[in-house]
């Protein structure tokens, strides 16, 4: 069994559909960093209907996203992957979904840039894809403060410099990131 992390959730301003808490149960291959990326992604891409760890959304597609937003009819409109993922998987997702926006969150800028460079040679994939890599040192500091039971307060996202702000267990964090394509 993989890691288990619980987060009591708050936000300023208050998000209308914010649950009081969320428990993330990692699969055997998932790390605490992967689970934290899922939580950060949920806040970064927050919108009505965004689901964390949803069931398989497309019959015949063996993949399941870390985060998925669907329209009112239940059709996927945003697919988010976190951590480790291969370009071959991303290609299959783009083909199966008809090219909906696809986002990938990585723990470091280096990982994000390498994934983008590999994916950019495939025009349909490159058209749908945006890869986001967090600053490695910032991410390491964040992960050092993770406990099995956490208090997370989302404060927002900044455009310049690109970053997200939140408190984790009483400590303020500004987590910078870079995205590809620029």
pLDDT, tens only, 70-112: 988 888 899 999 999 999 999 999 999 999 999 999 999 999 9
Quote the longest CA-to-CA distance of the chain. 44
Best CATH choice for the domain 4-180 from the list 2.40.340.10, 3.90.420.10, 3.10.640.10, 3.40.50.170: 3.10.640.10
User: In this structure, are residues 64 and 80 in contact, taking their beta carbons and an 8 Å threshold?
Assistant: no
Mean pLDDT over 124-141 rounds to: 95
Q: Please report which helix (H) or strand (E) contains residue 154, including its range.
A: strand 149-158
pTM: 0.94
User: In this structure, are residues 9 and 1 in contact, taking their beta carbons and an 8 Å threshold?
Assistant: no
Three-state SS at 146: coil
Tokens standing for residue 97: 């979904």
Burial classification of residue 73, based on how many CB atoms lie within 10 Å of its CB (0-12 exposed, 13-18 middle, 19 or more buried): exposed
- CA 107, 143, 84: angle at the middle one, nearest 5? 30
What is the predicted pLDDT for the residue at 2? 84
User: In this structure, are residues 112 and 104 in contact, taking their beta carbons and an 8 Å threshold?
Assistant: yes
Return d(Cα 139, Cα 33) in angstroms, integer: 9
What is the predicted pLDDT for the residue at 84? 93
Cα dihedral across residues 22, 35, 178, 115: positive or negative: negative
């Amino acid at each position: 069994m993989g890691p288990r992390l619980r987060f009591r959730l708050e936000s300023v301003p208050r998000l209308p559909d914010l649950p009081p808490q969320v428990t993330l149960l990692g699969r055997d291959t998932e790390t605490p960093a992967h689970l934290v990326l899922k939580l950060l992604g949920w806040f970064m891409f927050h919108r009505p209907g965004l689901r964390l760890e949803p069931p398989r959304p497309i019959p015949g597609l063996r993949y399941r996203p870390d985060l998925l937003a669907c329209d009112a009819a239940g059709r996927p409109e945003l697919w988010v992957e976190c951590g480790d993922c291969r370009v071959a998987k991303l290609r299959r997702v783009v083909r199966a979904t008809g090219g909906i926006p696809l986002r990938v969150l990585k723990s470091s800028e280096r990982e994000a840039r390498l994934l983008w460079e590999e994916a950019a040679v495939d025009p349909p994939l490159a058209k749908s894809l945006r890869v986001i890599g967090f600053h490695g040192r910032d991410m390491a500091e964040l992960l050092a403060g993770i406990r099995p039971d956490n208090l997370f307060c989302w404060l927002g996202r900044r455009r310049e410099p690109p970053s997200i702000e939140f408190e984790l267990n009483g400590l303020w964090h500004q987590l910078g990131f870079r995205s590809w394509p620029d």
